[in-house]
Structure 1
Amino acid sequence: QIGTLALTGLNSTNPANTAIITRQEDEVLPNRTTQVRHGSRMRHILPGAPLNFSAEVNGSLVSIDTFMYDMGLGGLMVVKDGSIRLEKYDHSNQKQSRNSIQSCTKSFTSTAFGIAVKQGKIHSHDLAERWTPELKGTPYGDVTLRSIMDMTAGVAAPINATDYFTVYEDLNRNAVLDLFKTYERVAAPDTVYNYMDQNYAVTAIALQRAIGEPIGNFVTRHIWDPAGMQYDGYMRTTAAHQVDGHGGLAITLADMARFGLFILDNLQGRGGPAVPSGWFEGIAAANTSRGIRAPGNIIDVPGFGYQTGWWTLPRGSNTTYALGDDEAFAALGMYGQAIYVIPRLNTTVVLQS
């Protein structure tokens, strides 16, 4: 509540309310978030030579400001060679605004998973039933966590299944897995791509059990603190306080950029997330984004591939440049949230929407 305004009473389907709800999800969902704390060391990102350009859209030159307003972007930042080249806000967003970045959350979850793999606490080839024995004998049980994170589990909700998002209001800690027990096998693992938030709910539960502590604490210690985040973030949970792993992470624009820089640190041998050797190099090379997960084969996001919680970009031809030529990959979220990591340009581009 802000003064006499009750945020929980706002109609979330009204576009006029979208910006404030996106910035205040912890107030809209009381007792349904968990904090991710910043550490004692902040990574300073100094301003560089400003970028100012227009782009042709539908035959007309459009400025960055006009583009942001028309597309509903609340924030846009470009950091190249460690310097901020562009930083703009709109729709009342500010530097300290913590936007819910939707499915960009999956890329944070998969990074935390990679850190746990490096620590020997869990493995990509583990079957889901190892960490969620409740799912043994169900379609999820004998699928590897790698396939689940790649969205190729071959599992789907039945036509008349209970709406997944109803479990968010259930205080029963078994509610999520009880629902997943009713899901169906629709294809052999790794033969069909099917993007489902539920896959990362399974991943998050498995990860939390493997690390033996709340995911928020693990992310604080192994991502937020070493990345030098300026502000606290928060993660969405169910009423039973289970982090969903697939959406609802709230973070400022500059801290999104710090996460991108943290990934670049790893790729450049300067620290970054302590994941297994080659973890991010493989994503940058899109080395498993082939077949059903290759760029162009995914209807949901045309032109992108998918790999371990990140979206990979296609390569160009001998005559045409594509962003994938610079090994770009991205965390993408509904409504236009994005964290682009572009290794060969030493650049990260982040958007809030």
Structure 2
Amino acid sequence: MTAGRAGRLRAAACLLAATVLILLAAKTCAKPVQRVAVVVAPGGDPLRAAAFANGAEFMLSQANGLEMRLFETDGSLPSLRKVGARLVQEQYCGVLTNVGQAALLADGREIPVLTTGTPAQAIRTTAGRDDEVAALLSYAGETGMESLAILLPDGTAAWGELLGWLCTHLESNLYAYTDQDGGITAALDSIVAQQADGVLVWGDTTEVPRMISGLRHAGYTGAILGPSFLAGYESLGINAGQATGLRFAAQYTDPRHNAEVLTRRQQQFIREYTAYFGEEPLFAESYYGADQALILEQMLRVQREGDPPLGTLLRCGRIEGIVQPYDYSRNPSTGITGMVVYQIQSGHIEEAR
């Protein structure tokens, strides 16, 4: 082989290598890793906040090209605005959160915010705690309960109003308790004396087991309903059959027959989640976080190369499954201008072309 020919071959090889590198670089630039922010306020209930973040992390770990970063706030307006400014500056593709006033995170920009809060706060993707309570009350009606007592901690006036409103179709009594002056004992005695068909207990992972034990010890023999974490009763030391918890949106779980009442999708989720974290999801928030992450991934998949930002696609009606738009520019009291947010039907994200 002549020196000239060898030189030409080396040049051709170098050109080919350079072309491959350029193509790879172009491919990489066309589909960069997109960052997703998960924003929680752990101060109120750190276990639920952690469960929400875990659900989002689990689902995002299965999505290609999405990277999660966790942000913690105290839920205050200054804290939310500070986080929102950073998300805009660092060009996050979406926000998953269960924090109130979630729409303030995006601060009028094109970053879609998905939340379990009320629709007027941001893109609502899944049921929040109000829907969890509503589903439990529906369960009470479906199982023939004609009277229901509600037991919740003192100081939760907002929940008291909500529960009272949801119970209008049942003959219900609301009991609040405090730890002072035997307040909980008096409430339990009243419930036992009433012998309602069922009792709905509400509170955190410390309060609810204590209320259930107190009811049974006081002699109450009726049905007890409670939050989603009761479905994982073994981790809380609650005996099987003592109470019924809501495992997933609008699905009910009898702790004695989990395998019979959980849907195939739930069972698969629980298996994969448990394999990933080493423990079952105890809170409905784990499902909420996972559902939000799945919906955001579906929305981003709909967005094609050359399309406008996702927020623009939403406003133009280019994505099906969007209901109830809220235009914040019509409400100056929020301090937001030019923001429209949407409620999304879970599991129904399709492109409208």
TM-score by length of 1: 0.27
TM-score by length of 2: 0.27
Between the two structures, name the one with larger relative contact order (CA 8 Å, sep ≥ 6).
Answer: 1
Larger radius of gyration: 2
More helix by share: 2
